[in-house]
Structure 1
Amino acid sequence: MTARTTGAVHVADHGGGVWSIPVPIPDNPLGHTLVHLLDTDRGPVLIDTGWDDPASWDTLTAGLTACGTSVTELHGVLITHHHPDHHGLSARVREASGAWIAMHPADATVVRRTREAEPAHWFDYLTERLAAAGAPEEQLAPLRTARDHTGTFPGARAALPDREITPGALLDLSGRRLRAVWTPGHTPGHVCLHLEERHPAAATGHGRLFSGDHLLPGISPHIGLYGDLDDSTVTDPLGDYLSSLERVAALDPAEVLPAHQYAFTGAPARVRALLHHHEQRLTGLLALLTTPLTPWQLARAMEWNRPWAEIPYASRNIAVSEAEAHLRHLVTRGRAEPVPGTDPVTYRAV
């Protein structure tokens, strides 16, 4: 891998017609999204686009220049998942280039429903979910205020894709062998993209994997309940994620190119570490559930990267969703159950 800097943009050339551009995420500890550029016989293709922000757009376009191309030359955009730090700039890229946008249909459904829903409907949905989880009034009040004073909901401007990414299929990219691998968990339609080509440095393994947020070198992605106000299907996102990890380990790529942090090797070992981490966490939650707890109470009792009192408001909502996903998985495995007659519902270990 070689690095190249143009102005303040530090791009990386991974060899074999693959580059990465660190596109900033405003006010986020992750810092940036690694947007990957893949050369094809019909023109360059982006894997993700970054956050919809003027500074992010400037960085993306400057990064493309540093890679020897421009936004107007882009042929297509492949989206690993619908989150705004990955899909946010897709509409602007399409407007500037005419490029197509492809996404797994499950995440395309989330984008469409978010765009079509009234903002008040979304805020009511989120408030009801938090209340059902046992959140106190001080956590609910800001959502009620936002409902009455916010004209739009985050994601309302997200681009609708033109194409579907079909799991298991080779994508229609002239001169490249890039296969879609469905890896639900972080979102219902998250995909990794397996470049089934010899590694440019002849590293041991099977090609390279654009892993999005599914497989990261130093952190575990957020796994919460899938949020869809028009779909009451009972899902198990953590179970989906753990199964998807096994699928990625079996690919045994020579190198992983994630959307955050840095490129790395040893995917099977990283998968084993993540599986061990989640099994330990589930064991710890079962110990907490010897006393019945609501999802909110469980989230407060769980171990995070800082004390609960120091966790910002929005991050607490995310933490509760993660606690709910772990509870859902324990219930699915028959290791926990809701306590009859409780409101909000409490859960106990079995």
Structure 2
Amino acid sequence: MEITGGLQREAWINKVMPPVECVAEGIWSVPVVFPNNPMRYTLAYLVVEDEDCLVVDPGFDSVQGRLDLTAGLRAAGVTVSDVTGILATHFHTDHLGMARWLRRWSGAWIALGKAEIRYISAFTNAWEETAADRARMRTWGVPEDRINEAALDVDGLMHLRRLADADLRVGDGDTVPISRGRLTVVETPGHTPGHICLRDESRKVFLSGDHVLPRITPNVSLEMRGDPDPLRSCLQSLDRIEGDEGFEVLPAHEYRFRGLSHRARELKSLALARSDEVLALLDAQQHPTVWTIATKLHWSRGFPSLSGLQLRLALSETAAHLQFLRTSGVGHDVEGLPVRHMNGAPLLG
């Protein structure tokens, strides 16, 4: 893998914000702060073509984030009012968060993938949803004194509910509707059910969102009403992009690089190795739960250090591996995983 974003990598290592950069003809990389999160910032991308200005993954909505994005637009020679389109690779707050504010001041359309169902915020009553999530945490074996931090709370759910809705849905092979029409949508479910990437054949760049990052393995979580087998979807998505060698990858986090096929194969290998680790623990435990498996897995920061959202993500990722093993015919039943209808169709229980 060849690192092409040298300044971005240096900033990542030194835990500072990277500079705004013109990374290809008409494409700018703009770091937008992601407060109180280990990822620190999201790399938004501006595509400026003729009368169009597209913002890809505008970032988390905060006062500083708005200043960051406004400064990036200014460096590209445009303003907030010049934005004509906003596209989020997926619905997470560090990608879609600022879309509502941008649309209010620019009138721009907002696009998401056709399959990007906002399942986490697809609830009728936030209090009932929180109670259901807490009940699921109990079936996963989470100790009672850790449920509050692992489960979704009402405030968090309502924050997700306030994320912007899409005016436009784009699917595999669609062209993003800007003047020169050089950005083609690639559906890459896994990190979320409707995650998309953008391929630009003429400029040989691939905007990868969170699907492929140069060093971090993106989280793949099993969530209520989400994809019932998200890891399988992720592996299939990685297979689909293995042929895109020669493209410079513009990820939403960390730094730019070349070697998309290599990195896709590496991520797939890491995921399968993790499933092997989960299977070994599953076979070794007499009464396994999502919690007992997760506590024994190797985590880069160590499981005891995980709290809040990071704890939830670790548990949901463990559940995704357990479900993948189960649907592959090599795992065991573990409470709280998706069940199957008589016709074989999976459904979250």
Q: Common fold, TM-score beyond 0.5?
A: yes
SS in 1 for 2:262: helix
157 and 209 in structure 1: CA distance in 2 versus 1, 3 angstrom threshold: same
Task: Indicate which of 153, 160, 173 corresponds to 1:155.
Answer: 160
SS in 2 for 1:106: coil
Q: Does 1:224 align with 2:217?
A: no
Kept in 2: contact 1:9–1:59 (CA 8 A): no
Q: How does 1:334-349 map to 2 (within 5 A)?
A: 334-338=329-333
Kept in 2: contact 1:9–1:63 (CA 8 A): no
Cα offset for 1:55? Answer: 1.0
| Equivalence for 1:110 | 118
9 and 66 in structure 1: CA distance in 2 versus 1, 3 angstrom threshold: farther
Q: Which AA in structure 2 matches 1:140?
A: I
Separation in structure 2 between the aligned mates of residue 145 and residue 223 of structure 1, nearest angstrom: 17
**Superposed CA RMSD:** 2.4
Q: Does 1:276 align with 2:276?
A: no
Q: How does 1:68-87 map to 2 (within 5 A)?
A: 68-87=77-96
Q: Which AA in structure 2 matches 1:283?
A: D
**C-alpha distance after superposition, 1:147-178 (max 9, x if no partner):** 5xx49623121001100012122222211311
Separation in structure 2 between the aligned mates of residue 115 and residue 221 of structure 1, nearest angstrom: 23
100 and 121 in structure 1: CA distance in 2 versus 1, 3 angstrom threshold: same
Q: Which AA in structure 2 matches 1:164?
A: R
Kept in 2: contact 1:25–1:85 (CA 8 A): yes
Q: Does 1:322 align with 2:317?
A: yes
**C-alpha distance after superposition, 1:236-259 (max 9, x if no partner):** 100100110111112324211000
Cα offset for 1:344? Answer: 7.0
Task: Indicate which of 251, 256, 268 corresponds to 1:258.
Answer: 251
| Equivalence for 1:267 | 260
Cα offset for 1:9? Answer: 7.7
Separation in structure 1 between the aligned mates of residue 220 and residue 107 of structure 2, nearest angstrom: 34
Q: Does 1:247 align with 2:240?
A: yes
Separation in structure 1 between the aligned mates of residue 69 and residue 152 of structure 2, nearest angstrom: 35
Separation in structure 2 between the aligned mates of residue 69 and residue 95 of structure 1, nearest angstrom: 17
Kept in 2: contact 1:19–1:36 (CA 8 A): yes
**C-alpha distance after superposition, 1:44-77 (max 9, x if no partner):** 1011110011111111111111121111100101
| Equivalence for 1:28 | 37
Q: How does 1:83-102 map to 2 (within 5 A)?
A: 83-102=92-111
Kept in 2: contact 1:186–1:223 (CA 8 A): yes
Which sits farther off after the overlay, 123-132 or 92-101?
123-132
Separation in structure 2 between the aligned mates of residue 287 and residue 338 of structure 1, nearest angstrom: 15
Separation in structure 2 between the aligned mates of residue 239 and residue 60 of structure 1, nearest angstrom: 35
SS in 1 for 2:118: helix
Task: Indicate which of 154, 160, 169 corresponds to 1:164.
Answer: 169
| Equivalence for 1:203 | none
Separation in structure 2 between the aligned mates of residue 226 and residue 167 of structure 1, nearest angstrom: 24
Task: Indicate which of 130, 147, 151 corresponds to 1:123.
Answer: 130
Q: How does 1:195-214 map to 2 (within 5 A)?
A: 195-197=200-202, 199=203, 207-214=204-211
| Equivalence for 2:347 | none
Q: Does 1:307 align with 2:302?
A: yes
| Equivalence for 1:180 | 185
81 and 300 in structure 1: CA distance in 2 versus 1, 3 angstrom threshold: same
Identity %: 35
Separation in structure 2 between the aligned mates of residue 244 and residue 145 of structure 1, nearest angstrom: 28
41 and 53 in structure 1: CA distance in 2 versus 1, 3 angstrom threshold: same
Task: Indicate which of 27, 50, 68 corresponds to 1:59.
Answer: 68
Gaps of 5+ in 2: 8-16, 338-349
Cα offset for 1:145? Answer: 11
Kept in 2: contact 1:208–1:255 (CA 8 A): yes
Separation in structure 2 between the aligned mates of residue 266 and residue 301 of structure 1, nearest angstrom: 33
Cα offset for 1:196? Answer: 1.9
Q: Which has the higher contact order (CA 8 A, sep 6+)?
A: 2
TM normalised by structure 2 equals: 0.86
Kept in 1: contact 2:137–2:150 (CA 8 A): no
SS in 2 for 1:20: strand
Cα offset for 1:263? Answer: 0.7
Q: Does 1:44 align with 2:53?
A: yes
116 and 255 in structure 1: CA distance in 2 versus 1, 3 angstrom threshold: same
Separation in structure 1 between the aligned mates of residue 193 and residue 178 of structure 2, nearest angstrom: 24
Gaps of 5+ in 1: 200-206, 346-350
**C-alpha distance after superposition, 1:86-111 (max 9, x if no partner):** 0000000000100000001322x317
**C-alpha distance after superposition, 1:161-207 (max 9, x if no partner):** 1000121222222113111100000000000011121x3xxxxxxx2
SS in 2 for 1:127: helix
Q: Which AA in structure 2 matches 1:120?
A: W
Kept in 1: contact 2:187–2:195 (CA 8 A): yes
TM normalised by structure 1 equals: 0.86
